[in-house]
Amino acid sequence: MTAEETRTLGARLSALLGPGDLVVLSGPLGAGKTTLVQGLAEGLKVRGPITSPTFVIARVHPSLSGGPALVHVDAYRLGGFPEVDDLDLDASLEESVTVVEWGEGLVEGLSEDRLEVHIERGAEGEERLVRLSGVGPRWSAVSLA
């Protein structure tokens, strides 16, 4: 899968997402997490650009189409719970789609429901393995195939 195809996957996934949803992205450095968020942003029609934050850890991308905003968080530099709490993600959670890179083990407390997306690099250059799993009642009846 190319980076463009990862973006397309993100755009397709965005069709499943609405206000209140939490997406937790995991996978090693350079796996394609931010690339997938770029696709989500396209699909959600929010204001870009989606970048890998250097200093800013959470960025709000307002909708251009009257839909929910995208809150993009990169928790890579966050040390743990106190810092996550400082971001006040719960304040925007209900009306936004919240997507957290490196959020595993940090943000599960925000919501009983979450969509987990794990991206692994394959053996060759652009190869990627993407695993989706929904947690909680919100996702129990949603087909992710």
Q: Which residues bind ligand ATP (CB under 6 A)?
A: 1-3, 6, 27, 29-35, 52, 101, 126, 128
Residue that has been written with the tokens 């968080």 in this structure: 73
- CA-CA distance, 109 to 82, in Å (whole number)? 12
Strands (E), the chain: 22-26, 58-61, 69-74, 96-101, 114-121, 128-135
* Shortest separation between residue 74's beta carbon and Mg ion, angstroms: 6
Mask 14-33, x = binds Mg ion (CB under 5 A)?
A: -------------------x
**Min CB(67)–Mg ion separation in Å:** 23
Taken in order 27, 28, 33, 35, the sign of the CA dihedral is negative
Instruction: Compute the least distance from the CB of residue 33 to ligand ATP, in Å.
Output: 3
- State the residues that interact with Mg ion by CB under 5 A: 33-34, 52, 101
